[in-house]
Amino acid sequence: MAEEDALLREVDEELRRERLEKLWKRYGNLFMALSFGIVAAVGAYKGWQYYQRKQAEAAGEAYVGALDLATAGKEEAAIAALEKLAASSHPGGAALARMRLADMLGRKGETDKAVALYRRVAGDTSVELPLRNAARVRHAWLVTDTLPRAELAKILGGLDVAGNPWRAAAREILALAALREGDRQAALSYLKQLLNDPETPVEARARASTIYRVAGGKVSALSAANAPGGTTDEAAAGAGK
């Protein structure tokens, strides 16, 4: 029996070897090609990761360099550096450069150019949403004194709702626009939302409180309610006075 078992194993191994040889002759080239393809794909992916990392590092260095030029008072050189970065292929670096460049141009009174840059960032789906929303807010701030409230509302659409991190800025912009157009009730409504929101930043709350008084609202209870330890219910009661 032992000899028969050994013979059967030997025959079985021989059959398996013959099958493997046939499979290799038939599919060996395909297997080799597939193996080389996998190796090439992995190499290409690693190469792309390295390229992206180097691109990000270069964009970061260029952006910091441009800011350093601006801080040193070399505005024209800073603008030139930002324009170069804004035209680069790195989405994040280009978007940041456009935002900073728009801010600098807006301060120089070149509003149309600044607005175009903000719009470009806001409409670029390759850019992270928080930065796109920041561009919308900066755009609206830049034209708060000139654009109709309805147009500002379109720019800020969805940002002034509860839970949105940009709601305080959006409400302040819309309140100012409403006052400019003589719509006191709408302005007070936006300001109440600001003052009744416990997450409104301190600076925005202080401005809202001042504007609320100027517009004829009573803010004593609102201010007290939203100081440390105050409650939203108390603030709402103050807003109704």
Contact 135, 103 (CB under 8 A): no
- The pLDDT score that the predictor gives to residue 2 is 56
Q: Do residues 153 and 228 both lie within one domain?
A: yes
- The pLDDT score that the predictor gives to residue 10 is 55
Residue-wise pLDDT for 93-134, tens only, equals 888 899 999 999 999 999 999 999 999 999 999 899 999 999
Say yes or no to pLDDT of 15 above 80: no
Residue-wise pLDDT for 39-50, tens only, equals 555 555 455 444
* Cα separations in angstroms, 227 against 103, 165, 195, 201, 220: 33, 20, 10, 11, 11
The tokens for 71 are 């801080």
Q: How many domains does the chain have?
A: 2
Residue 35 lies in a domain: no
Task: Name the strand (E) or helix (H) holding 27.
Answer: helix 2-71
- The pLDDT score that the predictor gives to residue 68 is 77
Structural domain that includes position 204: 147-241
Contact 93, 56 (CB under 8 A): yes
Say yes or no to pLDDT of 81 above 80: yes
- Domain closes at, from 142, 176, 199: 142
Q: Do residues 108 and 159 both lie within one domain?
A: no
Q: Do residues 166 and 180 both lie within one domain?
A: yes
Predicted model pTM? 0.67
Closest CA to 52 of 92, 79, 15: 92
